[in-house]
Structure 1
Amino acid sequence: MTRFSLLDLVPVTEGGTVAGALANAADLAAHAEALGYNRYWVAEHHGMAGIASAATAVVIAHVAAATRTIRVGAGGIMLPNHAPLVIAEQFGTLEALFPGRIDLGFGRAPGSDQKVARAMRRTLETDPNAFPQDVLEVMSYFANDGRTGIQATPGAGANVPIWILGSSMFGAQLAAMLGLPYAFASHFAPDALDQALALYRRDFRPSAQLDKPYAMAGFNVFAADTDEEAQLLASSQQQAFVALRTGNPRQLPPPVPGYRDSLPPSHAQILDHVLSCSATGSPSTVARGLSDFVRRTGVDEVMVTSAIYDHQARKRSIAIAAEAMAELKLAA
């Protein structure tokens, strides 16, 4: 039975504020909890005017305090930006505050451009093999196995499930080798989805955390009462993607009628490819798109995501997605 969860980049809209984006995040998470979503994740990004989740652990605490049962976590923490001990302490603190509800997903991208990455890390001269070692170091702090010679406080003994995130074969190989759950970023990087899932399942080694493969994949949903309304809502994220890919990141803009059709063919093709793992439309259209995606990938969990300018329209969209996933469960 496929679970469904929600990824929120905490978008800052044009004309809006960071405070408003954070208030919307807490409200959206509570709404997702009421709808039966399994988990709510935020992702670490830096130096982007339209994303308010840079201080990821702080945002997780804010959202977890506004909810009661839904799992809340990072999808993900970009581990090369941080010392493993600091992350163990942060997420050990979160687990102490919200026991049994915290997830920790790791990615190896900077979550920014090279200029911002240098400002965070102070140097870009990093060991390419350090990411797996850093993951193991965080795991060691949680296990309190003495291998580091340091006891993380908080952190030692924390029950925080660790995930590996990725959009290439590297993450799939690492997750399989360590016996960890794997999340693929198909909502914006769909190319290697099928190959990565196949490799992960084939090479998975059972671990203390997980006895069999568990895979999740990102999927964009722009849902409304009609196909036309949904296509209009989707134009905000389309504009944001084009702005990002052309080196001009911006706050999330209001929707524009006919936006995709106004693009030059090269930009339209890039947009269609980047957002190929998406369903945009009415409840029936979205249900069909989600069903096809689950059937194609066989994932254990779908991570629904989308940036929609109007907060109430976004809440309606994730409600429609929840209804579609409920139908899939009944049909299973």
Structure 2
Amino acid sequence: MAWSYGYFTDLNYSHGYYSEMNPAMLRLACLGQAIESQLCDEPTYLELGFGQGVSINIHAAGSAGSYWGTDFNPAQTVEARKLAAASGADLHLFDDSFEELASRKDLPDFDVIALHGVWSWISERNRKIITDIIRRKLRPGGIAYISYNCLPGWAPVIPIRELMSLYQDCGEGKNRGPSGMIEGALQFVGDVAKAGSIYFQENPIAGHHLKHLTKQGPNYLAHEYLNADWHLGHFSDMVRSLEDTKLSFVGSASLLGGIDALRLSEDGRKLLSQIGHPVMRETVRDYLLNRRFRSDIFIKGPRKLTDSEHRDAWHAQAFVLVKPSADIPKKIPCGPGRSGTAS
């Protein structure tokens, strides 16, 4: 099998910065859950599958610490290293596969191990390698950040990905180049929808999703939909996958993601209050929100803050306004049909 192991490499991953992975934001998210993050001022940080390297470079340039990362696509590693050379930050960037990284003898123990989206696009074998890296190389008290596509939100549009994948493997896509193949795949799905497809008639959300896809760039679509592996699961599946890592779920890296008063109806909040098991409660919350993407924080040995410690930690937390107050929105987006007024 080729070195890519079915991962789409004909087009590089899209450029993007993901603030939730920033050590400062991880500390703040833990504080919001009344959990002591135990991150030191100069953490040792590992990103698995850094793509174009935008996030890890910004974090390394703007925060103290030692930053390590791998992305097995050498073209993306070259670009990430160019950014690192420009900033002069403490970065160690490799084009190792996860298996090769796991066998390195020069890896330190890490305070943070982070991966954005990667979990959804790799094989079961690679997911097991990642959990082994976390088990062996994440320090006690360390944070694991894992973002991934999830059910139930993806359920109605899974057939769209299947049609695109079939076009890639069995249609005329291979003769049109990467961008042309993706354009053809979308056209093919559109033709199916227009041909009296009962599936699209009975699942209007699929048609809305297809319309959204036509506005996305080919680099994003390729990596989101056209890898050989495409793993979707519930939150409960993620917890089971991490059983051997000694990790405990802390909460969402999205600061508003766990505030039920802003996200859920009164009936939804009442239902959740009656569910005692944390994994079941979190999975049901995903159904109430029809969540399709999660940004989860896990800690190896979390310590719950007492009420007084929690209060003191908030009082000690400094904040800096980074934009004029007139530009700060007065309403907080809280999901479909809901918003909160900022005070």
Tell whether the structures are fold-level matches, with TM greater than 0.5. Answer: no
TM-score by length of 2: 0.34
Select the structure of larger CA radius of gyration: 2
